[in-house]
Structure 1
Amino acid sequence: EDPMNWTAHKAPTGVNYYYNSVTGTSTYQRPACMGPDPAAATAAAAATAAVSAAAATTTPSKAGAESKSSSSKWKSYLDPSSKKKYYSDGTTTTWTKPDGYESDGDEAAKGGSATGKRKAEDNGSGGDSGPTESSSAKKKKKKSSSSGDGGKGGGGGSASSGSADRPWSTKAEAVAAFKGLLLAKDVSPSAKWNDVVRLCSSDSRWEACSSAGERKQALAEYQTKRANELREEKRREYARARDAFSDLLAEVLPGVAGFRPHALPPPRFGDVRDALSKDDRFYAVEDESTREELFYDFVEEVRKRDERKRR
């Protein structure tokens, strides 16, 4: 591997890391192709020399005691350049914690180091992949950016801003989903906003619109369209009722005794009402005055039709 592809950098915590400009890889471990770290090697050699000098000046009896327990008297030191811990027993120096090393102080340092590592990861500067943004930091940022406008109670909700979390590929689809929720809940054209919130905010489609403003605009559009639909539906129902009643007149009246559309005075509605009211279609038209109006219209139409035939 080409060492020219690697460059050394310093993280915000002060720890060195290495970046490969070709593969985009970052690591805290110095790549083997770069050779040993000159600063670390110098510091380790200096530490070894210092420990050796201290051992040489120790009195014979003290040196014997030191020698007797040297295998279990490993000590930890902090490299001033890399801020990394290394270990020495006065003879051997290593970056790796030796098997015989036991120290209450080191255990405390280990706990602090673990805590520091977790904190560094939360800040986006820890881990084997180098100083990248951590998942917890991303979640916090996502939560902050998608907090909406105050929660469902205030009509805001908290919609996810990432497209992967939203089943709607476009804003038009999202608005259509929200209006579909209103239709499914049978929201009336005259419903108030607070009533709509209580009725619909527990449904997942409520989050299709990411703000209260978008929801209110979609609600206004839905209510206008729904009011027009209901008026048109009522008009069609009324037309069907009139057609049904007219069919009833055409079927029943010719067989009613005494019904003569050309007689003077013309037949009255009260004379034929009992004959008509036995059929369900009589009640398709709710208003009695409308029934009378349709009856006289029918009589007039029959009279005109018969006159045209005579000609």
Structure 2
Amino acid sequence: MDVVSDAISAVRVGEPSSNRLRVSGTWCVRLSPYEGAGFHVVLSGACRLLPDGGGEPVSLGPGDVVLLPHGAGHVLADRAATEAQVRRAVPFEEVRDTDVPRSGPGPAVELLCGKYRLDRSRTHPLMAELPQVVHLPHRVGDHPELRTAVDLLARELDGRRPGGCLALPNLLDLLLIYMIRAWMARAEAGAWPAVLNDPVATAALRALHSDPAAPWTNELLAARAGVSRATLSRRFTSLVGRPPMAYLTWWRLTLAATRLRETDAPLTTVARETGYGSPYALSHAFSRAYGVTPGRYRDLGR
């Protein structure tokens, strides 16, 4: 797998959920902080997103997509809503999947609002680096895959089509990938867009993610990247923020945590899949990193 796929797979838990929101007139809806990632797709109309904590309001128009990768609380409101009305925003749970007219004139707005469940204990630094709000405005020619996913989602929401129960969650998974791709393509700051544009760091990461259980050394990894060991160490550490072998250890333990939570594989199998010579070696490293034994970590996730 590639780094972006692994970064998403490691943190994702269960299936995404989504609800359609249809509002008109003067309206304000509050979404509480969430232990995951939230998103909104504006299917028609226009509105504002107001992040908690006094962040800059974001104006949203038809076709716009917004991702809140750290689950920040926020308010969605019509463009004419006052501060007093925002403070009295209706909880989202009271209005989702319904037509909610509000007093006063104003055009109708339709949004797809949803959540991705995430396990923060396994967050990849690429995901951690995402800003609180990722706004991807609709512009003709920009991010065609994202635009296609939005169009397909809108069609799936039009009615109960055969296979929709499978199509919708899979389209939502694609939407997450395309939102992160779009952010990386236009990010003006941040380490990970630079990491994945560096041929040496990318070659090393691809090798580690392709076969994390292999007996990697700095020498073998440098040979795979086609550079000297010193060059690999300098560039990888500078861009990624930790040396190659430290990153490998972290990634192996992250994979072990994922296997423990998502499968019933015995510890011997998990150790073999993640590059540890014995269950004891994995248990020692895992307990040091997570503060609990692998068995206890698995039990806590159930």
TM interval, shorter chain, is: under 0.3
Higher helix content, 1 or 2:
1
TM-score by length of 2: 0.18
Bigger relative CO (Cα 8 Å, ≥ 6 apart): 2
Q: When the two structures are superposed, what TM-score results if normalisation uses the length of structure 1?
A: 0.17
- Higher strand fraction: Structure 1 or Structure 2? 2
